[in-house]
Amino acid sequence: MPDNSFSQFVRRTFARREATLMVLLVVLLVPITVRSPQFLSPKNISTILNDMAILVIVAIGQFYVILSNGIDLSVGSVIAFTGMACGMINESFPQVPVGLLLLVGMGIGAGLGLVNGVLVAYGKIPPIITTLGTMSIFRGMTFLLSKGTWVTAHEMTDSYIALPRTTFLGISYLLWIALFVIVLFYYFSRNTRTGREIYAIGGNPTAAKFVGVSESRIRLVVFLISGTLCGLAGSLWTARYASAVNEMATGFEMQAVAACVLGGVNFSGGAGGIIGVALGTLFLGVVTNALPVIYLSVFWQTFVQGLIVLMALALNTISDQRKTRKLLEQRRG
């Protein structure tokens, strides 16, 4: 049987949502650029990419939860709590190096993710209910931690605030971190046992159980990944916006889910990929940034995002149905 892994790679990547998204991106970019040639200027491109860097980190965490047939609604609150914690640590202990601060953020995020994971995996509470509850609890914890106050730019160290803006080879650290996360999890999805098992649990939990995959372990792991990545995102968020406010990242779960759905991730689990999620995030970024170009105020932003999610979901359903019909026809011969 021919099983050329390169042709396999090409087919896997382009026969799916990824190709559609790339075409759509180009189709979208043409009229936008015609209208506003500066849209594709290096400066604007880098703005879009930097805007999307934090989102892609969170969306990748969300991706694994959705892949296992769950959802994480608490991402915005985890970002807020870790972002606030990092801001306050930076204010009180300016001697703590920035690198360590990011690690602390990830650690706190992992802890919050663990709470979600334990409730889902061992408490057997459905993910949507669990994270709906913790979304509120973690946000509440943020207020309790800060006692309602903010951490502002002049209370934070310059090195922390400068982190996202510092560039290396012309690319911001923020983007480097996002790229690193993309590459790391691309590798994780394809080349680790746990990565495979997440696909298996999401695709068919019964069959996975029959080969000895532990469902509870996988459910715990996906929330741990999501929490850790949200922790990283939280610590970067505070630096990028040079402030830690209690309401930060409110509604961010919507954008993370949108990026996944746009990227072709199957909402009932088992199918999707990191490249798709990254392209979905980019698509969302382009649309959001293009709103002023087509004279729509930013007030339209959430409206348009919601619309995109619904359209993407409809698209996924239609293509699934078409696929099922094709399979049936094939079997009939």
Partner 1 sequence: MQKALLEVQNLTKIFPGIRALDDVHLSIRSGEVHALIGENGAGKSTLVKILTGVYFPTSGVIELEGKPISFKNAIEAQEAGIVAIHQEASMFPELSVTENIYMGHHIRNEKTRKLDWKAMTEHTRVLLSQMKLDINPDTLVKNLSVAQRHMVEISKALSLDARLVIMDEPTSALTGREVEDLFRIVRELRDSGKAILFISHKFAEIFEICDYFTVLRDGQYIGEGEVRKSSEDDIIQMMIGRSVDQMYPEHTTHTGEKILEVRGLSQLGAFKDISFDLHRGEILGLFGLVGAGRTEVVRTIFGIDKADGGSMSIEGKPYNPRNPQDAMRRGIALVPEDRQKQGLVLQMSLTHNISLPMLTKLCWKGLVTKGKSEKTYVEKQGNEMEIKAAGYHVDAETLSGGNQQKVVLAKWIGTDPKILILDEPTKGIDVATKAAVHEFVCEMASRGVAVILISSELPEVIGMADRVMVMHEGIQTGFIDRKDLSAELVMRYAIKEVKEVTHA
Both structure tokens of 332: 């009939």
Determine contact, residues 82/59, Cβ cutoff 8 Å. Answer: no
Q: Which of 210, 295, 297, 299 binds partner 1 (CB under 8 A)?
A: 210
- Binding residues among 5-34 for partner 1 as defined by CB under 8 A: 5, 8, 11-12
- Out of 211, 295, 297, 299, the residue judged to bind partner 1 by CB under 8 A: 211
Q: How far apart are CA 121 and CA 130, in angstroms?
A: 11
Taking CB under 8 A as the criterion, the residue among 49, 89, 163, 271 binding partner 1 is 271
Cβ proximity to partner 1: between 7 and 167 the closer is 7
Structure tokens given for 38: 């500066």
Nearest residue to 145 (alpha-carbon basis) of 108, 113, 181: 108
Tell the smallest beta-carbon distance from residue 270 to partner 1 (Å): 5
Amino acid found at 279: L
CB 71 within 8 A of CB 257: yes
DSSP labels for 16-56?
A: SHHHHHHHHHHHHHHHHHHH-GGGGSHHHHHHHHHHHHHHH
Contact between 214 and partner 1 (CB under 8 A)? Answer: yes
Nearest CB to partner 1, comparing residues 141 and 315: 315
* Total chain residues near partner 1 (CB under 8 A): 35
- Provide the residue type at 139 as one letter: R
The least CB distance from residue 333 to partner 1, in Å, is: 8
Minimum CB separation from partner 1 for residue 63, in Å? 15
CB of 239 to partner 1, least distance (A): 32
Our measurement of the distance from residue 286's CA atom to the centroid of its chain's CA atoms, rounded to an integer in Å, reads: 16
Which one-letter DSSP state was computed for residue 191? H
Q: Which of 137, 313 has the CB closer to partner 1?
A: 313
212 binds partner 1 (CB under 8 A): yes
* Distance in Å, CB of 316 to partner 1, minimum: 13
| Short-list 276, 206, 222, 333, CA closest to 22 | 276
Which CB atom, from 1 or from 27, has the smaller least distance to partner 1? 1
Contact set for partner 1, span 170-209 (CB under 8 A): 190-194, 196-197, 199-200, 203-204, 206-209
* Token pair belonging to 190: 């394809």
CA distance 203 to 208: 8
Q: With binding defined as CB under 8 A, does residue 1 bind partner 1?
A: yes
Q: By CB under 8 A, is residue 270 in contact with partner 1?
A: yes
Residue closer to partner 1 by CB (options 47, 204) is 204
Which of the residues 78 through 97 are near partner 1 (CB under 8 A)?
none
Distance (Å, whole) CA 93 – CA 85:
12
Query: CB–CB of 106/231 below 8 Å?
Result: yes
**Angstrom distances, CA of residue 277 to CA of 6, 32, 141, 273, 282:** 21, 23, 30, 6, 9
Q: Which is nearer to partner 1, 51 or 320 (CB)?
A: 320
For residue 3, state whether it binds partner 1 (rule: CB under 8 A).
yes
- Binding-site ranges for partner 1 (CB under 8 A): 1-3, 5, 8, 11-12, 190-194, 196-197, 199-200, 203-204, 206-214, 266, 270-271, 327, 330-333
